[in-house]
Structure 1
Amino acid sequence: MSTVLGALRRLLLAPSLAEVGFARRGFPGPHLAATHWLEAVPQSVVCGFEWGIDARDQWELERRLELVEPAMRGFAYEGATMACTVLDAMPGGRGTRTRELLLGPGRPHIFLAYIGIGFAMARLPRPLWRTVLPDLPGMPYHPTMSWLAVDGYGFDRAYFDTGRIVDAQERPKSYPWQGFAGYFPRAVDQGIGRALWFVHSARPADVDAAVRRFAVDRRPDLWSGVGLAAVFAGGCGREELVRLREAAGEEWPELALGAVFAAKARAFSGTVPGHSEAATEVLAGMSVRDAAVLADDVADDLRGSGDVPPYEAWRQRIRQRCRDLRSAGPVR
C-alpha cells in the first residue's frame, strides 16, 4: 500500500491534454465537432489544474483563468479549485488557497468549484477528506451544494476508471460527507451519470442504454447527472435532446432536475451559452432564467432528515415542481 506522502507526490502529475481525450480513454464513437467540444471540457480542467499548481499568487491564477473563453471558464476554475485543494491538503500547505479562490474570483463558479474539490478527493487519501471543504461565510448555497464535491468524485472515478465504475458498475465505498454516509452513494451516482454523457459522446441512444445497464434503484440519480451534463456542457442538437427526453420516459423528472441545477449554475456564473438555453427548454420545459428562479423559489428552509441531507430536500422540491409544471401542460 502506498504511503500518504507517496500518494501526495503523484498528485502533482496532472494528466496531459491527450490523456483526457476520448480516443485515449477508449470512449467509442467518431471524432466529430461535438466530440471536440466535449473534449475541451476536461482539457480546460487540466489547464486550470496546471495553472493552479504553478501560479505564484491568486492574481496570476485569476489572470490566466480569465483568458479562457467564457463558456469554458467554469471548467478551468474546476481544475484550479482542484489544485488549490491539493495544495491546501499537502503537508506544509498554506491551507487557505481554496477559500481565497472561492471567496474571490471563483465565486461565480462555486457550483463547478465544488466539483473540482471532488476531483481532488479522488486523488487524496480519505483521511484528508475532512479538511477539503473550506469555510465560506456568506456564500450562497454553502454548504448545501457541497454535495457537488461528491458528484465530482463520482465523475472522476467513472471517467478515469470506466471499466470498473461504468462497465462493472462497482459502487465506491461510502463516506460520511456532511454526516450523511447513507446518501454518499447517491451523490456519487449523480456524478457517474454526468460522466456517461462524456463517455458516450452525448449520443442519447448510447447514454440511455448505459443508464439502463445499472440497477433500477441507481437510475434516477444517473438520469439527474445526465441532465446536468447535457445542459451545462452541451454536445448535441435539439432533435437529439428530444430523443434523450423521450428515452428517460417516466424518469423524465430526474432529467429535468439535473437540467434545472445546471441552468442555475450557468445563470449564477453570468455566462449562459446557447446550448444551455436550448437544452433547458427541451429537458425541463422552461428557460434558463425561469429554471434559476424555480431553484431559488424552493430553496428556503431546507432541512435534512434521517439519511437525507438538505441537498436532497432541495432536489425533491425541484423534482416535484417540474412534475407539477409538466402536468399543467406538455413539455415543448
Structure 2
Amino acid sequence: MTTVGTVRRRLFGIPSAKAVFSRPGFAPEAWERFAPVACSLMEGYHAALEDPRLGVLAARLEAVEPELKGFAYEGAGMGLAALDAVTPYKRRLEAFVAGPGAAHIYPVYVGVGLAYARLRRTPESRLAGLDPLLGWVTADGYGFHEAFFKRRRYVEQHAVPTRLSDYGRRFFDQGVGRALWFSGGAVVDRVARLITGFQPERHADLWSGVGLASAYGGGADEAALRSVLAYASAYRPQLARGAATAAWGRRTAGNEAAHTDLACRVFCGRGSEDAAAVVEEAARGLPVISVEPGYEIWRRRTEEGLAA
C-alpha cells in the first residue's frame, strides 16, 4: 500500500463491516448469512482507496472467490467514484469500466450509486458520464445506501427521495428492496412485513429488488424462495426480472452460482442460463432515441420474454 493509499484508507475507509450489520433494525441473521458478501464489498472498496491503479486493483479483485467477486467490484466502483469526486481530472471510474471492470459493469455502477449517496450527490445529475443504458443502476445503489444507513427515514418512515425523478425513484425502490433482503437476513416473513408497510405503488419495485438480491446474493433455500413467491405472487414478473438480471450479470462476468440458478428456477420457471439469455435478447435492438428510457423498454421486454 502506498503512503497516499494509507491516508485515503484512514480518511474514507469503513472500520468494520460487522458493526454496520449490528445497527438497530438489522436481523441477527443478517451478519450470519451475509458476512462474506459484506467483507468482499469492503475488500473492493478499500482496495480502490489504497491503490486505484488499474492493474493493481484488478489483481486484488480477481483474487476474490468467484461467487463473491461481483461484490468486490461493487466496492471498487464505490471507491473509484469517491476518488473521482475528489480529483475529477483523473477519471479513474471511466477507465476502469472501459477496462478490467467492463464485465462487471452492473455491480460497479451499483457501487457508484453507493458513493453518490455518501457524497450526497444525485445519481441522475451524473448520468451523462455513464453508460447510456446501465447508468440508471446508480439510482439502485443510491437507494440501497439510504435504506441501509438511514433506516429510520427510508424504511420505518417510508420517505420518498425528493431529488430523483419518478423513474429514478423506481430504481431507488429496487435498491431499497435489496437492502431489506440483506438487512433482514433473508428472513422472508420479516422482509415481506416491511414491504407491506410501504405504499402499494412501490411494492413492484421493492419486490424486484428482493428478486435481484436473493438471486445474486443468496441467503435462502428453496423453501424460503417459494415463500417469497407466495408473498409476492402479484409481483412475480418483477421477481423473475430481478432474478434473471442477477443471472445475466453473473453470466456476463463468468461467476455463475448455484443459488442464482435456484432462484431463477423458482421465480422464472427456468434455469439461470436460460433466464440470462432472455435478458440478453431483450437488450437487442433497443432504440437509440426514445421518449421512454431504453432501460425501461429493456425491463418490459425481459418480463414479457420470461412470461412467454
TM-score (ref. length: structure 1): 0.84
Aligned positions of 1:225-244 closer than 5 A: 225-244=209-228
Instruction: Supply the AA of the counterpart residue of 2:67.
Output: A
> Could you tell me how far apart the structure 1 residues matched to 2:123 and 2:171 are?
19
Partner Cα separation in structure 1 for residue 134 and residue 208 of structure 2: 15
The alignment partner of 1:95 has SS state of coil
Judge conservation of contact 1:89–1:131 (CA < 8 Å) in 2. no
3-state DSSP of counterpart to 1:202: coil
Name the count of aligned residue pairs: 300
Match of residue 152 from structure 1: 141
Unaligned runs of 5+ in 2: 1-7
Q: Could you say which residue in structure 2 is the equivalent of 1:197?
A: 181
Q: Report the secondary structure of 1:285's partner residue.
A: coil
Q: Please give the alpha-carbon distance, in whole angstroms, between the structure 2 residues aligned to 1:165 and 1:310.
A: 28
Quote the RMSD (CA, aligned, Å).
Answer: 2.3
After superposition, the C-alpha distances for 1:119-158 in whole angstroms (9 at most, x for unaligned) are 11102243797457645xxxxxx42122111100000110
For 1:166, the equivalent position in structure 2 comes to: 155
Q: Is the 8 A contact 1:114 1:149 kept in 2?
A: yes
Partners in 2 of 1:114 and 1:258 — Cα distance? Answer: 16
Contact 1:11-1:86 at 8 Å conserved across structures: no
Matching residue of 2:100: 105
Listed as ranges, the gaps of 5+ residues in structure 1 are: 1-8, 136-141, 176-180, 325-332
Once residues 196 and 38 of structure 2 are traced to their aligned partners in structure 1, the CA distance between those partners, rounded to angstroms, is 25
**Which amino acid in 2 is paired with 1:114?**
Y
Match among 281, 300, 305 for residue 321 of structure 1: 305
Cα shift at 1:15: 2.1
1:50 partnered with 2:39: no
Report the Cα offset of residue 11 of structure 1. 10
Which runs of at least 4 in structure 1 moved beyond 6 Å after TM superposition? Answer: none
Aligned to 1:40: 36
After superposing the two structures, state which structure 1 stretch, 257-266 or 95-104, moved more: 95-104
Query: Quick one: distance in 1 between partners of 2:307 and 2:10?
Result: 43
How many Å apart are 1:285 and its aligned residue? 0.9
Q: Could you tell me the percent identity over the aligned residues?
A: 36
Cα separation, partners in 2 of 1:16 and 1:26, compared to 1, 3 Å: farther
Is the Cα–Cα contact under 8 Å of residues 175 and 209 in structure 2 kept in the other structure?
A: yes
Residue 121, structure 1, aligned to residue 105, structure 2: no
Say if 1:194 and 1:132 are closer, same or farther in 2 by CA, change over 3 A. same
When residues 20 and 147 of structure 1 are mapped into structure 2, their CA distance, relative to the original with a 3 A threshold, is: farther
CA distance in 2 between partners of 1:203 and 1:111 (Å): 26
